[in-house]
Amino acid sequence: MGYVAVSGGEQAIAASLDLTELKRVGAGRSIEVETILAALPELVEQVESEGSLWAPEVAATAVKQAQGSVEEAVFLMRAYRSTLERLYTSRVIDTDTMRVDRRISAAFKDIAGGQILGATRDYSHRLIEFELADETPADVRERAAELERALAAEPQAEAAAAQTRVPRVLTYLREIDMVRSYPLDDTEPVDITKTPLAFPAPRSVILQALSRGLTQAVIAIGYAAIRGFGLSHPTVGELRHGTVAVTIDAPGSDAPTEDDAYYLGAIPVTEVESLIVSDEVDDRGNHRSALDVGYGLVVGDDESKAIAMSVLDHSLRADDVRYPTQDQEFVLYHIDGVEATGFISHLKLPHYVTFQSKLDAALRSIAEPEKGGEADA
pLDDT digits (tens, 9 = 90+) for 319-367: 889 999 999 999 999 999 998 988 898 898 888 899 999 999 999 989 8
Predicted confidence band of residue 250 (pLDDT cuts 50, 70, 90): confident
Peptide bond connecting 155 to the previous residue in cis, omega within 30 degrees of 0: no
Range list of β-strands (E), 94-156: 99-104
- Residue 244's pLDDT is 94
* pLDDT tens-digit map of 90-136: 998 989 999 999 999 999 999 988 899 888 999 999 999 999 999 99
The CA-CA-CA angle for residues 302, 186, 107, to 5°, reads: 40
- Residue 104's pLDDT is 94
Highest mean pLDDT among 229-238, 244-253, 307-316: 307-316
Whether the CB-CB separation of 235 and 277 falls below 8 Å is answered with no
* pLDDT tens-digit map of 7-38: 557 888 888 888 888 888 888 888 999 999 99
Residue 261 above 90 pLDDT? no
Q: What percent of the chain has pLDDT over 70?
A: 91
Residue 60 above 50 pLDDT? yes
Mean residue pLDDT across the chain: 87
| 257-270 exposure pattern, b = at least 16 Cβ within 10 A, e = fewer | eeeebeeeeeebbb
Whether the CB-CB separation of 316 and 208 falls below 8 Å is answered with no
- 262 vs 61, higher pLDDT: 61
The DSSP H or E segment spanning 96 is none
Whether the CB-CB separation of 49 and 210 falls below 8 Å is answered with no
Whole-angstrom CA distances from 262 to 146, 269, 318, 334 are 39, 20, 40, 38
- Residue 3's pLDDT is 42
- Residue 4's pLDDT is 43
pTM as predicted? 0.87
* pLDDT tens-digit map of 294-326: 999 999 999 999 999 999 999 999 888 999 999
Count of CB atoms within 10 A of residue 311's CB?
28
The DSSP H or E segment spanning 227 is helix 215-227
Across residues 172-186, what is the average pLDDT?
82
Predicted confidence band of residue 45 (pLDDT cuts 50, 70, 90): very high
The DSSP line for 234-295 is -EEEEEEEEEEEEEEPPTT-SS--GGGPEEEEEEEEEEEEEEEEEEEE-TTS-EEEEEEEEE
Residue 271 above 90 pLDDT? yes
Whether the CB-CB separation of 290 and 174 falls below 8 Å is answered with no
Dihedral sign computed on CA atoms, order 265, 271, 337, 122: negative
- Residue 165's pLDDT is 77
For residue 100, the 8-state DSSP code is E
- Residue 5's pLDDT is 47
Whole-angstrom CA distances from 176 to 35, 165, 281, 346 are 50, 23, 17, 54
